[in-house]
């Protein structure tokens, strides 16, 4: 069997060809629909396809070793962001609980007092 390998110089050509094909597909869809703007769902799907294509080409260009290293770094960054968001959420919950307790401890009508 022949192993298909993509050389680095072929990647820009393949990406350009894919973008041209996607654009041609959108032009055909727009002509078929009467030149109305595409729906939000169609635009989101097209954007998703382009993102997947970009990620696939990027990982293929890096190679398996660098892609593995990059994913390790990305996982570490994601863990730090998750830790920070958890800390902020905990602080917000603690503040809200303290405010509720303070509001419950205060009398309803400040004009009423036991001095009377």
Q: Domain boundaries in the chain?
A: 7-62, 64-104
User: What percent of the chain lies above the pLDDT cut of 70?
Assistant: 84
pLDDT at 8 > cutoff 80: no
Nearest CA-CA partner of 78 in 66, 90, 70, 68? 70
Banded pLDDT at 83 (limits 50, 70, 90): very high
Average pLDDT value for residue range 88-108: 84
Residue 66: pLDDT band by 50, 70, 90 thresholds?
Answer: confident
User: What is the average pLDDT score of the chain?
Assistant: 78
* Distance of alpha carbon 32 from alpha carbon 47, whole angstroms: 20
| Nearest alpha carbon to residue 67 among 82, 49, 55, 53 | 55
**Token output for 25:** 């597909």
- Structure tokens, 11: 């990647």
Span 33-44, average pLDDT: 72
């Amino acid at each position: 069997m022949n192993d298909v390998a993509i050389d680095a110089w072929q990647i820009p050509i393949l990406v350009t060809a894919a973008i041209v094909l996607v654009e041609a597909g959108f032009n055909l869809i727009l002509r078929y629909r009467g030149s109305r703007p595409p729906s939000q769902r169609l635009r989101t799907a097209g954007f998703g396809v382009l993102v997947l294509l970009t990620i696939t080409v990027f990982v293929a260009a890096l190679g398996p070793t660098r892609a593995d290293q990059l994913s390790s770094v990305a996982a570490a960054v994601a863990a730090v962001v998750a830790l920070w968001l958890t800390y902020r959420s905990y602080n917000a919950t603690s503040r809200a609980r303290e405010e509720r307790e303070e509001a419950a401890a205060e009398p309803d009508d400040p004009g009423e007092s036991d001095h009377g």
